[in-house]
C-alpha cells in the first residue's frame, strides 16, 4: 500500500486533479464525507489532512508522498524530498504594514514587533537584515495586529492582496513566492524507487504540458 497525504480545501482539490489525470489515483476522494482515509486505486490510499500537517505525515513515513505549499515546507524545515513544483496554489510570502509607513521607514527602525503565523520564516528574514525583532505568533487574522498597533508589521501569505487593501495595509517586501510541491519521504523513495520515480515523471510531464 502506498499512501498519499492530500490537503483539505482548494489546494487539495487541485492536487487531486493531477493525480487523477496521471492515473496515480483512480477514484476521487469523497470530500463531503467525514472519512479521512480513502482507497483510491489498487494498493493506493489517500489521507485527507490539514495542509499544514502534510509535511509531517510525509517526513515521519505515515504517508509516502504528499502535496503541500512551499510556505509550509519553508516554515517547518521538514526533511523530505521536494521533487516537483506543481505550479498551482500560487501566493507570496510578504512583509506588510500600514499604508502610512513606507519600506525605508519600517526597515530603518532599530527594532520591530512582527506578527505572523510563520515565526521561523519571519525570524530568518529579519535576521538576514540584521534587524532586531520580537516575533508574535498569531493563529487568526494577522492583519489585525498591524491595524491595531499590536505589531509594526506582519509576515503572511498574500494571494490577491485584497484583504490587505481592505484593511489599509500594503506589501513592502516580497520574501519568496510559494506554489504547491510534490514531496516524498526519503526512505520510501529508495524503498519504492521504481513506482515513486515513475509517478514523479508522470507528474512532471503533466505539469510541463500545462505550462503556458
pLDDT class for 103, splitting at 50, 70, 90? very high
| The pLDDT of residue 157 is above 90 | yes
Strand partners, 174: 94
Q: What percent of the chain has pLDDT over 70?
A: 100
In this prediction, residues 123-146 reach a mean pLDDT of 95
pLDDT class for 110, splitting at 50, 70, 90? confident
pLDDT class for 210, splitting at 50, 70, 90? confident
| The pLDDT of residue 32 is above 90 | no
- pTM of the prediction? 0.90
Query: Do 4 and 65 meet the contact criterion of CB atoms below 8 Å apart?
Result: yes
Residue found under cell 485584497 = 162
More confident residue, 31 or 117: 117
Rounded to 10 deg, the angle between the 9-22 and 193-210 helix axes is: 110
Residues in contact with 102: Cβ distance below 8 Å, sequence separation at least 6, in sequence order: 172
Burial (0-12, 13-18, 19+ Cβ within 10 Å), 32: exposed
**What confidence score (pLDDT) does residue 80 get?**
97
| The pLDDT of residue 203 is above 90 | yes
DSSP state string for 51-69? GGGHHHHHHTTSSSEEEEE
**What confidence score (pLDDT) does residue 34 get?**
86
**Residue (of 212, 209, 206) closest to 25 by Cα position:** 206
Q: What percent of the chain has pLDDT over 90?
A: 88
Coil vs helix vs strand at 156? strand
| The pLDDT of residue 211 is above 80 | no
Residues in contact with 75: Cβ distance below 8 Å, sequence separation at least 6, in sequence order: 118, 119, 120, 121
pLDDT class for 30, splitting at 50, 70, 90? confident
Query: Do 9 and 54 meet the contact criterion of CB atoms below 8 Å apart?
Result: no
| The pLDDT of residue 57 is above 90 | yes
Residues in contact with 195: Cβ distance below 8 Å, sequence separation at least 6, in sequence order: 2
Amino acid at each position: 500500500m502506498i499512501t498519499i497525504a492530500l490537503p483539505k480545501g482548494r489546494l487539495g482539490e487541485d492536487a487531486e486533479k493531477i493525480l487523477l489525470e496521471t492515473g496515480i489515483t483512480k477514484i476521487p476522494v469523497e470530500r463531503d464525507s467525514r472519512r479521512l482515509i480513502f482507497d483510491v486505486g489498487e494498493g493506493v490510499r489517500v489521507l485527507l489532512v490539514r495542509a499544514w500537517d502534510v509535511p509531517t505525515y510525509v517526513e515521519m513515513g505515515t504517508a509516502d508522498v504528499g502535496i503541500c505549499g512551499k510556505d509550509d515546507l519553508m516554515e517547518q524545515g521538514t526533511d523530505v524530498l521536494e521533487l516537483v513544483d506543481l505550479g498551482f496554489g500560487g501566493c507570496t510570502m510578504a512583509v506588510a504594514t500600514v499604508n502610512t509607513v513606507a519600506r525605508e521607514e519600517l526597515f530603518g527602525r532599530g527594532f520591530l514587533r512582527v506578527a505572523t503565523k510563520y515565526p521561523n520564516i519571519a525570524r530568518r528574514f529579519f535576521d538576514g537584515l540584521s534587524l532586531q525583532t520580537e516575533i508574535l505568533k498569531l493563529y487568526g487574522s494577522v492583519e489585525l495586529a498591524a491595524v491595531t498597533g499590536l505589531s509594526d508589521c506582519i509576515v503572511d501569505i498574500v494571494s490577491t492582496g485584497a484583504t490587505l487593501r481592505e484593511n489599509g495595509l500594503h506589501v513592502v517586501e516580497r520574501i519568496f513566492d510559494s506554489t504547491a510541491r510534490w514531496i516524498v519521504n526519503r526512505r520510501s523513495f529508495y524503498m519504492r524507487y521504481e513506482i515513486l520515480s515513475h509517478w514523479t515523471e508522470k507528474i512532471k510531464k503533466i505539469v510541463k504540458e500545462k505550462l503556458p
